[in-house]
Structure 1
Amino acid sequence: MKLVQFLLDGNEGWAVCDAGSNTWHGAMQGAAAYPGSLDALAQDSAAAFNKAARAMLLQPAIDLTSVQFLPPLGRPRKIICVGLNYRDHTEESGFKQPDYPTLFSRFNTSLTAHEAPLLHTDLSDTLDYEGELAVVIGKGGSCIARNQALTHVLAYSVFNDGSVREYQFKSPQWMVGKNFDGTGGFGPWLVTADELPPGARGLSIQTRLNGQTVQSANTNDMVFDVESLIVILSQAITLEAGDLIVAGTPAGIGHARTPPLYMKPGDVCEVEIEGIGLLRNRIERRA
């Protein structure tokens, strides 16, 4: 199933699209059939999430052309991002490939939805794109065994880890450059794990800037696959239902080009992952 959160006439709602269908069914906050937000359901349990999604299929059709998209999850418990997870990107960035994932956090204030602006700060002209796979945890745990790791995945989505490079490299810690408000594109929807290959393996991933392909790879190219990330993270950090893992970007970033290719106001950036969907954001100056 695909699940999308949105605003319609100022009210929050969400809808679901079953496999093989192009029709979305949903309900609005305040309606008797509304089971709560996707955030609340994802943080409850996979069973509650799936039960609510199946019930939504019985609700009236929703026309997505008339809604304002919201991030599929607006308030993940944790957003854990992975750097240097494609060898070609590590090489172009001038780093030695690490044998342990390079990890950093994002905050919810950095998220922006499909078709919403990706914000360009006046503090720097170094806003860069990074197309990535997003993994939603549906069952928490610590010290998770590899053969159980994928049972902890609820869904997948698309992410654009917009990075203000000047601020990313102001210190050894990348946090600030990765957390400017409205720079983390997320969406357009969630796709439940059962609709994709195990671990979202073998999916093409592309980023396009103003229609030009600037990144093109396959999720098979990840150094640390989804199972490995869950195992390694859970050794140190208890994963919780509703957590988000953003699994790294391939080569082609603007910062590594000569001359650099940074996003600027008026540009349109698209990230598309096979079987999941296309995330589109126009770059706008932050007010």
Structure 2
Amino acid sequence: MRFVTYDRDGSPQPAVLRGAELVDLDVPRIIDLIRLGDDGLRHAAAALDRPANAVLDDVHLLSPIPLPERFVLATGWNYLEHFTEGIGKRNDTVVELPEYPSFFAKADTTVIGPRDPLPYDAALTEQLDGEGEIAVVIGTGGRNIPVDQVPRHLFGYTLANDVTARDIQRRHGGQWLKGKSVDGTCPLGPVLVTPDELDPEVPLDLTYSVNGEVMQDATTDLMIFSIAELVSSLSEAMTLQPGDILLTGTPAGAGYARNPPRFLAPGDEVVVASSALGELRNRVVEQSLTTYTPHAVESAAEV
């Protein structure tokens, strides 16, 4: 099945797709459906027999999981050519292929949906860089998950753009959290596709383009660590929860590694695409990210 979340009268509405039609689900969020396990999937399958509530062309899609309950988990250097293209940016240091995956996190406030504006503030960064990725969403939680058991723990697949402020990344010692956690820098979507919709023997294709120019083009069989190996490794002594999102790495072609570097600017349209998972399209828009923005404190009655 294919799931989406769309904006219905200002509130997120989960739905299951039937072709181009959307059938609303009787749960507040897709993560609530995920927590129901097989019962949730049966609920969604039964919903397909009901009349449609909307059609894709008439709605504004949100991220399938608009606000994750935990930080977005992510993987670094998981495509061979991307790993090697970065060597020149590490003072030409000879680095052997990793024995274990590299993981990091993006803040939950980075997540935006398809066609949402991708914020750009020159006072904050002038080196905004996109990275197309396949993302997986955990269905059944677990710890120390064996590689051969990973498929039963996956709820679905979607697309992600791991947008990074490279200058912020370097300013903070090269670590990934700060430079990859600017608000609004993790477009996610457009659909969440369950594994039964995909042929496990066929690698997923993945492209990332800027203004129609393809910057990245790869398939998942070029990964250093498979998706199953990533999930298994990440779960070692660390419990994964239903609804956790894991970005699985980006191919070669990132803007920072090009000569000269190619960074994003206001007006650029960025598209992450896969024949099995659709298109994740966003436009870079000027937006202040450097003004003091206090948030209201909940009262005791609201908590």
TM-score by length of 2: 0.87
How far 1:12 moved relative to its partner? Answer: 2.6
- RMSD between aligned alpha carbons? 1.6
Pair 1:192-2:183 in alignment:
no
What is the distance in 1 between the residues matched to 2:14 and 2:36? 18
How far 1:77 moved relative to its partner? Answer: 3.6
**Helix, strand or coil at the partner of 1:215:** strand
What is the distance in 1 between the residues matched to 2:202 and 2:161? 19
| 1:30 corresponding residue in structure 2 | none
1:82 counterpart letter in structure 2: T
Task: Identify which range, 113-122 or 179-188, moves more after superposition.
Answer: 113-122
What is the distance in 1 between the residues matched to 2:121 and 2:199? 38
What is the distance in 2 between the residues matched to 1:179 and 1:56? 36
Q: Percent identity?
A: 36
What is the distance in 2 between the residues matched to 1:121 and 1:49? 41
Structure 1, gaps ≥5 residues long: 28-32
How far 1:201 moved relative to its partner? Answer: 5.1
How far 1:138 moved relative to its partner? Answer: 0.3
Preserved contact between residue 38 and residue 72 of structure 1 (Cα < 8 Å): yes
| 1:243 corresponding residue in structure 2 | 244
Task: Identify which range, 78-87 or 167-176, moves more after superposition.
Answer: 167-176
Pair 1:92-2:98 in alignment:
no
How far 1:35 moved relative to its partner? Answer: 2.5
Preserved contact between residue 25 and residue 59 of structure 1 (Cα < 8 Å): no
What is the distance in 2 between the residues matched to 1:121 and 1:56? 43
| Aligned residue-pair number | 277
Preserved contact between residue 25 and residue 56 of structure 1 (Cα < 8 Å): no
Preserved contact between residue 77 and residue 240 of structure 1 (Cα < 8 Å): no
User: Cα deviation per residue 1:28-53 (whole Å; 9 max; x = unaligned)?
Assistant: xxxxx6232112222x1322331232
The within-5 A match list for 1:142-221 is 142-170=143-171, 171-198=173-200, 202-221=203-222
Cα distance, 1:197–1:133 mapped onto 2, change above 3 Å: same
Instruction: Give 1:48's match in structure 2, choosing from 39, 43, 57.
Output: 39
User: Cα deviation per residue 1:186-222 (whole Å; 9 max; x = unaligned)?
Assistant: 0001001111133x85111101100011100111111
What is the distance in 2 between the residues matched to 1:169 and 1:46? 41
| 1:121 corresponding residue in structure 2 | 121
| 1:285 corresponding residue in structure 2 | 286
What is the distance in 2 between the residues matched to 1:75 and 1:124? 24
**Helix, strand or coil at the partner of 1:100:** coil
Larger radius of gyration: 2
What is the distance in 2 between the residues matched to 1:266 and 1:80? 28
What is the distance in 1 between the residues matched to 2:139 and 2:262? 37
In the TM superposition, structure 1's runs of 4+ consecutive aligned residues that sit over 6 Å from their partners are none
| 1:80 corresponding residue in structure 2 | 73
2:83 counterpart letter in structure 1: T
Preserved contact between residue 139 and residue 154 of structure 1 (Cα < 8 Å): yes
What is the distance in 2 between the residues matched to 1:132 and 1:66? 27
| 2:17 corresponding residue in structure 1 | 17
Instruction: Give 2:23's match in structure 1, choosing from 26, 50, 63.
Output: 26
